[in-house]
Amino acid sequence: MIHLEGVDKSFHGKKVLDGLSFNVKKGEVFGFLGPSGSGKTTTIKLLTGQLKADSGKISVFGKDAGEIAHPDQLQRIGIMTDNSQLYPRLTVRDNLLLFCRLYRVPIRRISEVLEMVDLQDAERTQVAKLSKGMTQRVLLARALLHEPDLLFLDEPTAALDPVTKERIHDGLRKIQEKGTTIFLTTHDMHEAEALCDHVALLHKGKVVEEGSPASLSYRFSSRMIHVKLHGGETVTVENTAEGAEAIYNYMSSGQVVSIHTAEPTLGQVFIEVTGRNLA
Ligand SMILES: Nc1ncnc2c1ncn2[C@@H]1O[C@H](COP(=O)(O)OP(=O)(O)OP(=O)(O)O)[C@@H](O)[C@H]1O
Ligand SMILES: [Mg+2]
């Protein structure tokens, strides 16, 4: 779906992307993670024809970067960025109607997309009167109106409460089930773990680690096992034959309360790789 190879991009002599390479497969939710200012939004702009790379190869739907901004291509793409805006004095419905006309989408799609983001009741509400979470969901609904094959979401749930986030996540899962490929940037590691099939960590202009959230956690796990004993003590043993013997002894003497492996979270992996905390 998306292929980048050796992509460079500088602003005023400062290199932001430095040999960036990755692939996004059809149908997956791809999580693009990186600290603030690392170049995530810049990458989305390159992939949606809003910016040109200095060098390297970019293709989307198998077409070269130069063709991305062609109307036929854009028709297949949905974009929601942190600077996407609505007309505040119009109702939700009228905002979406404008986009229906622009994309030549049948008007019945309005109620379909509002249902996807659980906002049927707000159709006649003026946008200025919506909460932040509702506004985010209208923006998501708008990005979905023309049933894009590929959806770019730039921090879609930034600064939202956990319940609203969960609603948006449910909406995104439904969209993925319908076959849409989703490219998502986020600072929220729980979001990445909950939604993404594949994540890539961006650091100093390059992808430094990638894989499924589970495979990254596994790769960075220390293979240590924590055994909690009656009496409150927790002992840590290695995942080896000696460790097994130690656990055997604890268990056979009836001392064990619980046993845990120590898989790191994606957040811990990120800090280990980049030395920076994301959230
Ligand atoms: N149009 C521009 N002109 C000059 N510099 C820019 C421009 N766009 C981005 N930059 C710079 O490029 C770097 C990467 O910016 P970008 O917006 O891609 O980061 P980001 O990873 O999306 O960050 P955030 O998580 O804060 O959204 C920053 O240093 C930013 O100042
Ligand atoms: Mg950004």
Question: What is the rounded CA–CA span in Å between residue 242 and residue 258?
Answer: 19
Q: How far is ligand 1, taken at its centre, from the CA of residue 18, in Å?
A: 14
Candidate from 33, 38, 43, 184 with most ligand 1 atoms within 8 A of CB, to mutate: 38
Summarize pLDDT for 49-71 with one digit per residue, the tens: 999 999 999 999 999 888 888 88
Mean pLDDT (whole number) for 16-33:
97
Give the mean pLDDT of 174-193. Answer: 92
CA 112 – CA 118 distance, rounded (Å): 10
* Residue among 189, 78, 202 at smallest CA distance from 143: 78
Alpha-carbon distance 70 to 228, whole Å?
60
Strand order in the sheet with 55-60: 14-24, 2-11, 55-60, 63-64
Q: Is the pLDDT of residue 100 over 70?
A: yes
Instruction: Tell me if 47 sits within 8 A of 68, measured CB to CB.
Output: yes
Cα separation of 220 and 279, whole Å? Answer: 19
High-pLDDT (> 90) share of the chain, %: 62
pLDDT band per the 50, 70, 90 thresholds, residue 244:
very high
Residue 75's pLDDT is 87
Closest ligand 1 atom to 187 CA:
25
Average confidence score pLDDT of the chain = 91
Top mutation candidate among 8, 17, 40, 83 for ligand 1, by most atoms within 8 Å of CB: 40
What pLDDT, on a 0 to 100 scale, did the predictor assign at position 277? 62
Does residue 87's CB lie within 6 angstroms of at least one atom of ligand 1?
no
Give the distance (Å) from ligand 2 centre to CA of residue 68.
20
The pLDDT, as a whole number, for residue 276 is 64
Ligand 1 centroid from CA 5, angstroms? 20
For the chain, give the secondary structure using H, E and C.
CEEEEEEEEEECCEEEEEEEEEEECCCCEEEEECCCCCCHHHHHHHHCCCCCCCEEEEEECCEEHHHCCCHHHHCCEEEECCCCCCCCCCEHHHHHHHHHHHHCCCCCHHHHHHHHCCCHHHCCCEHHHCCHHHHHHHHHHHHHCCCCCEEEEECCCCCCCHHHHHHHHHHHHHHHHCCCEEEEEECCHHHHHHHCCEEEEEECCEEEEEECHHHHHHHCCCCEEEEEECCCCEEEEECCHHHHHHHHHHHHCCCEEEEEECCCCHHHHHHHHHCCCCC
**Tally of residues, the chain:** 279
Q: What domains, with CATH codes, occur in the chain?
A: 2-217 (3.40.50.300), 222-262 (no CATH)
Q: Which ligand is nearest to the CA of 34?
A: 1
Provide mean pLDDT across the span 197-214.
94
Protein residue closest via CA to atom 26 of ligand 1 = 36
